[in-house]
Amino acid sequence: MNPSRLKVLITGANGFVGASLMQCFTAAGHDVVGSVRRRVPSAARHIHVGDLDEYTQWQHALVDVDVVVHAAARVHVMNARQEDANEFQRVNVDGTLNLAQQAMASGCRRFVFISSIKVNGERTHDVPFSAGDTPRPCDVYAQSKYDAECALTSALQDSDMELVIVRPPLVYGSGVKANLQQLIHAVTRGIPLPLGRAHKRRSLVGLDNLCDFIRVCATHPNAANNVFLVSDGYDVSSRDLVALIASALSTTPRVFSLPYAVLKLGARCLKQEARVSKLFDALQVNIDKNKQLLSWTPPYTVQQQIHTMVHGTASEERAL
């Protein structure tokens, strides 16, 4: 396997992370093909594979592939119910294991699995998460990612295909949706936000930093059969994040303070407790392993990536 020129299969190639991975690996000189659930018009490098489960046929997509980067998944949703567990199992566990088994059979040399920091847990207390911590998944999505990690580790332990597991925290970048998109809109419109006391820091990872790290994980010999956490290396509080977004917009952040107990009570009434916890609880990760083992440090600053996110998201929305 020539690490400077690989054939790479990226699953979920038209997703938020997958599309950027396609660009990153192509720019690095690799031969890249992407898999998608639905056919994409005029996308020569995209191969349609249909739904991701234990029956998906990957042979056509895996021809001469050296590395699989598995970014496709049933994604986390707020307040996922226990009844969703079967669907998370079908896609994130059975579908992932099926792909890995077919990749092994095709002669693929490395499988990079994009997992989630939620495998480690929901929050930290004084000590950041590290890759060697005992996993503590707290919901059905996190459990499905951990189950997939375990299934892959077991299936690949006596094979020639190497496994790399990457657990990112919240990923942000151009085109981001959900909570961050709503936060950008609120800051843009000058809406006052009750985040004056949201001072606990959280690790985030910008899309460009994440893609660069995954590229290294696909090629570096020391990455083989390792678990990595990844972040920007500079943690921010929710209050800090509002200030960074406002700076990128050349506006003034508008925040005010409310007692946390009041916010929790309001969140409970509105069934938004999980969302408030993400704004006020700490969740930090230690990326020293990445520096020591792979000589990797985040190439882009938080400020650079926030600027890209804010203006890229605004441009995409204007184009719609």
What is the identity of the amino acid at 126?
D
For residue 1, the model assigns a pLDDT of 63
Q: Kindly list the distances between the CA atom of residue 248 and the CA atoms of 148, 174, 243, 309, in Å, as whole numbers in the listed order.
A: 38, 13, 9, 9
**Which residues are registered as beta bridge partners of 129?**
285
Please give the pLDDT value at position 5.
Answer: 87
Which pLDDT band holds residue 278 (cuts at 50, 70, 90)?
A: confident
Phi and psi at 111, nearest 5°, equal: -125, 115
**What DSSP character marks residue 89?**
I
Contacts of 185 (CB under 8 A, 6+ apart): none
| Range of weakest confidence among 64-68, 117-121, 171-175, 309-313 | 309-313
Which residue, among 111, 108, 208, 219, has the nearest Cα to 168 in the 3D structure? 208
> Is the confidence at residue 227, as pLDDT, over 80?
yes
Contact 170, 232 (CB under 8 A): no
- Top pLDDT among 43 and 35 is at 35
Mean pLDDT value of segment 189-197:
94
Q: Inform me whether the pLDDT recorded for 83 exceeds 70.
A: no
Is the pLDDT higher at 111 or at 179? Answer: 111
> Which pLDDT score, from 0 to 100, does residue 275 have?
78
- Residue 19's pLDDT is 94
What's the Cα-to-Cα distance from 67 to each of 7, 47, 52, 63, 64, rounded to whole Å? 7, 16, 18, 11, 9
Instruction: Tokens for 44, please give them.
Output: 């020569």
Least confident of 5-19, 201-215, 264-278: 264-278
Q: Which of 4-13, 200-209, 260-269 has the lowest mean pLDDT?
A: 260-269
> In whole numbers, what is the pLDDT of the chain averaged over residues?
91
Joined together, the tokens standing for residue 191 give: 């809406």
8 Å CB contact between 131 and 228: yes
d(CA 270, CA 265): 9
Which three-class secondary structure state does DSSP give residue 29?
coil
Strands (DSSP E) along the chain, which ranges? 7-11, 31-36, 46-48, 67-70, 110-114, 162-167, 170-172, 201-202, 204-206, 226-229, 236-237
Tell me which residue of 107, 146, 166 sits closest to 287, measured CA to CA.
166
Tokens at 246, concatenated: 């406002």
Residues belonging to the active site: 141
